[in-house]
């Protein structure tokens, strides 16, 4: 019974699962929080990973481990492998002007967007690593001068697990490479000319591995002694890892015809596809997946935290928020929340703020506000679903995952907003599970990852309520920008 471990180093926390490689049965798990903020010292991820591994009983008995991580984050290393400055995360919007510049420099407008979509599968937005490199070059030239290599959160953590054995040992995978803005899912090759265009010079980048290739071995001393340490670490295989959405697709067992809607810190809507996407509108990012296929994806910056914010506004916990939302009628009698609390990426409104429309004496109740928060967050994702299907994705089945899917209100209101049923797998850590399934593939070999039972899914069906989205569409663009300073 070989065991494998999967690690999810996502925005808000690090989660570790240890599973049976052949059956997928959960053996043990651990978790630890990440610091707040859109700029984070990678050492904080490492500390959280160590704590989560210790909570999961260590890695001494596993055959392989793989890391799924939040996408796009810019981790800059100097020649000695030291981190140059705190990482800028996917939800840090300071590089929005850099994204606009890169599109302008490629011809601007439709031509500029098409250039990037054709070259890299996606139109630059502030989330992507290439725009963060441009920001660094412009705003922190002394730091920029020190950078020798750039990698992503999961690449860096895999490298740390290997003992940080020099920059030449950095490894990544197709899924995460496809979110950098300087790798082409269509050709499977880096576009270092585009990295140079963004940053001003070329940098060392991780080697891109195939889906089940070995990235190295766990360094026996990397996790230290004690309960988190690995006793027999020198033979523990490291998988290539991947971005958290590609890992979630693997963990949820998504296949052709499935659309996954993930409600975590980000809201994502994505499909597993056989051919690469290139959407010049920029709504759909044509990423690669973790199995050798593709992962067209729409991402919003505002998802589970909209619910957190609504609960804070109302002074209730998330369970009560859900009860309140379900106590108001569909459409909340016309109260609409536009949920751009962090600015927004899809649509591209990096400096937008949120808004409440439709306040009357009748809608000024906690239940209406709770319902408007759930519906507004889901409407933004429904727009994403439309964009995905407009690019040719099939949506035979919608699978709802992520922390926000633990909300009964989200599960029950989603079919009313999406206009179709949703399938909800048992509550779990699908990113960590996907990383574990990749680790099992690395450990067991074969042409495809092992088939693991998905557990009992629940289907939520309810007639669609088109008025919810119609009203949201009237409100969506009526927001003001953030006040600077």
Ligand X SMILES: O=C(CO)[C@@H](O)[C@H](O)COP(=O)(O)O
Selected binder of ligand ADP within 65, 238, 250, 307 (CB under 6 A): 307
Q: Is 304 in the site for ligand ADP (CB under 6 A)?
A: yes
Give the distance between the most distant pair of CA atoms in the chain: 66
Selected binder of ligand ADP within 121, 181, 354, 402 (CB under 6 A): 402
Q: In the complex with ligand ADP, which residue's Cβ is closer, 149 or 250?
A: 250
Question: What does 90 interact with, of ligand ADP, ligand X, none (CB < 5 to 8 A by kind)?
Answer: ligand X
Q: Is 92 in the site for ligand ADP (CB under 6 A)?
A: no
Q: Is 123 in the site for ligand ADP (CB under 6 A)?
A: no
| DSSP character string of 334-377 | G-EEE--BTBBTTTTBTTB--EEE---TTT-SHHHHHHHHHHHH
Q: Is 300 in the site for ligand ADP (CB under 6 A)?
A: no
Q: C-alpha angle with apex 390: 386 to 391, nearest 5 degrees? A: 125
User: Per CB under 6 A, which region of 81-89, 268-276, 304-312, 411-419 contacts ligand ADP?
Assistant: 304-312
Does 34 carry a binding-site annotation? no
Q: In the complex with ligand X, which residue's Cβ is closer, 10 or 363?
A: 10
Q: What gap in Å lies between CA 219 and CA 230, rounded to an integer? A: 8
Q: Is 373 in the site for ligand ADP (CB under 6 A)?
A: no
Q: What gap in Å lies between CA 125 and CA 114, rounded to an integer? A: 14
Nearest to 325 by CA among 199, 399, 264, 414: 414
Query: Which residue's beta carbon is nearest to the bound ligand ADP?
Result: 403
| DSSP character string of 230-293 | -TTGGG-EE---EEHHHHHHHHTT--TTEEEEEESSSEEEEE-BSS----TTSSSEEEE-SSSS
Nearest to 381 by CA among 418, 424, 426, 330: 418
Per DSSP bridges, beta strands 75-77 and 149-151 are antiparallel
Q: What gap in Å lies between CA 272 and CA 262, rounded to an integer? A: 14
H helical segments located in 106-171: 109-120, 129-139, 141-146, 153-161
Measured from the CB of residue 304, what is the shortest distance to ligand X in angstroms?
A: 8
Q: In the complex with ligand X, which residue's Cβ is closer, 4 or 248?
A: 248
Does 71 carry a binding-site annotation? yes
Catalytic residue among 244, 258, 279, 383: 244
Q: Is 393 in the site for ligand ADP (CB under 6 A)?
A: no
Per DSSP bridges, beta strands 149-151 and 183-184 are unpaired
Length of the chain: 485
Selected binder of ligand ADP within 6, 206, 264, 434 (CB under 6 A): 264
Question: What does 245 interact with, of ligand ADP, ligand X, none (CB < 5 to 8 A by kind)?
Answer: ligand X
Q: How far is CA 289 from CA 123, 286, 404, in A?
A: 18, 10, 23
Q: What order do you get walking across the sheet with 285-288 strand by strand? A: 285-288, 294-300, 267-271, 258-263, 397-401, 422-424, 458-460
Radius of gyration of the chain (CA): 21
Question: What does 407 interact with, of ligand X, ligand ADP, none (CB < 5 to 8 A by kind)?
Answer: ligand ADP
Binding site for ligand X (CB under 6 A): 10-11, 70-72, 90, 127, 179, 243-245, 264-266, 268, 297, 299
Helices 96-105, 109-120: inter-axial angle, 10-degree rounding: 100
Q: In the complex with ligand X, which residue's Cβ is closer, 179 or 241?
A: 179
Residue 244 annotated as catalytic: yes
Question: What does 406 interact with, of ligand X, ligand ADP, none (CB < 5 to 8 A by kind)?
Answer: ligand ADP
Selected binder of ligand ADP within 4, 5, 11, 124 (CB under 6 A): 11
Residues 6+ apart with CB under 8 A from 319: none
Q: In the complex with ligand ADP, which residue's Cβ is closer, 158 or 407?
A: 407
Question: What does 95 interact with, of ligand X, ligand ADP, none (CB < 5 to 8 A by kind)?
Answer: none
Measured from the CB of residue 360, what is the shortest distance to ligand ADP in angstroms?
A: 27
Q: Is 230 in the site for ligand ADP (CB under 6 A)?
A: no
Q: Identify the bridge partners of residue 16 per DSSP, sorted by sequence position.
A: 7, 30
User: Per CB under 6 A, which region of 8-16, 281-289, 344-352, 451-459 contacts ligand ADP?
Assistant: 8-16
Measured from the CB of residue 103, what is the shortest distance to ligand ADP in angstroms?
A: 27
Q: Is 308 in the site for ligand ADP (CB under 6 A)?
A: yes
Q: Is 351 in the site for ligand ADP (CB under 6 A)?
A: no
Binding site residues, ligand ADP, CB under 6 A: 10-13, 264-265, 304-305, 307-308, 318, 402-404, 406-407
Q: Which residues are catalytic?
A: 244
Q: Could you list the residues known to form a binding site for substrate, using ranges.
A: 71-72
């Amino acid at each position: 019974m070989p065991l494998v471990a999967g690690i999810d180093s996502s925005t808000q926390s690090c989660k570790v699962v240890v599973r049976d490689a052949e059956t997928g049965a959960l053996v043990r798990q651990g978790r630890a929080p990440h610091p707040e903020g859109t700029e984070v010292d990678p050492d904080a991820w490492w500390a959280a990973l160590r704590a989560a591994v210790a909570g999961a009983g260590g890695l001494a008995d596993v055959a392989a481990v793989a890391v799924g991580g939040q996408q796009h984050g810019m981790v800059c290393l100097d020649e000695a492998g030291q981190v140059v400055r705190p990482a800028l995360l996917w939800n840090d919007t300071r590089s929005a002007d850099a994204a606009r510049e890169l599109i302008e420099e490629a011809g601007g407008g439709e031509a500029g967007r098409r250039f990037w979509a054709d070259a890299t599968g996606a139109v630059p937005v502030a989330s992507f690593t290439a725009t963060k490199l441009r920001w660094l070059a412009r705003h922190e030239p002394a730091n920029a001068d020190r950078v020798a290599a750039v990698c992503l959160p999961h690449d860096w953590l895999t490298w740390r697990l290997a003992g940080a054995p020099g920059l030449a040992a950095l490894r990544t995978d197709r899924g995460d490479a496809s979110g950098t803005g300087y790798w082409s899912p269509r050709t499977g090759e880096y576009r270092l000319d585009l990295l140079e265009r963004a940053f001003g010079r070329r940098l060392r980048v991780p080697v891109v591995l195939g889906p089940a290739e070995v990235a190295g071995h766990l360094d026996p001393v990397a996790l230290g002694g004690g309960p988190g340490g690995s006793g027999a670490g020198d033979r523990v295989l490291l998988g290539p890892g991947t971005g958290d959405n590609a890992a979630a697709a693997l963990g949820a067992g998504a296949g052709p015809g499935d659309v996954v809607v993930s409600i975590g810190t980000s809201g994502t809507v994505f499909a597993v596809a056989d051919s690469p996407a290139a959407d010049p509108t920029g709504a759909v990012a044509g990423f690669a997946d973790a199995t050798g296929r593709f992962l067209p994806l729409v991402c919003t910056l505002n998802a589970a935290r909209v619910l957190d914010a609504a609960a804070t506004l109302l002074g209730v916990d998330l369970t009560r928020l859900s009860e309140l939302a379900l106590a108001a009628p569909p459409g909340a009698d016309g109260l609409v929340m536009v949920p751009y609390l962090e600015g927004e990426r899809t649509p591209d409104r990096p400096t937008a703020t949120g808004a409440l429309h439709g306040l009357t004496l009748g809608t000024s109740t906690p239940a209406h506000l709770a319902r408007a928060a759930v519906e507004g967050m889901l409407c933004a994702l429904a727009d994403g679903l439309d964009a995905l299907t407009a690019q040719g994705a099939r949506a035979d089945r919608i699978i709802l995952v992520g922390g926000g899917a633990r909300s009964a209100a989200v599960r029950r209101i989603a079919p009313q907003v999406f206009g179709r049923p949703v399938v909800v797998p048992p509550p779990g850590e699908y990113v960590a599970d996907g990383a574990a399934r990749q680790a099992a593939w690395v450990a067991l070999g074969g042409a495809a990852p092992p088939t693991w039972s998905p557990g009992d899914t629940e289907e939520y069906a309810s007639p669609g309520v088109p008025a919810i989205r119609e009203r949201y569409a009237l409100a969506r663009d009526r927001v003001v920008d953030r006040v600077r300073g």
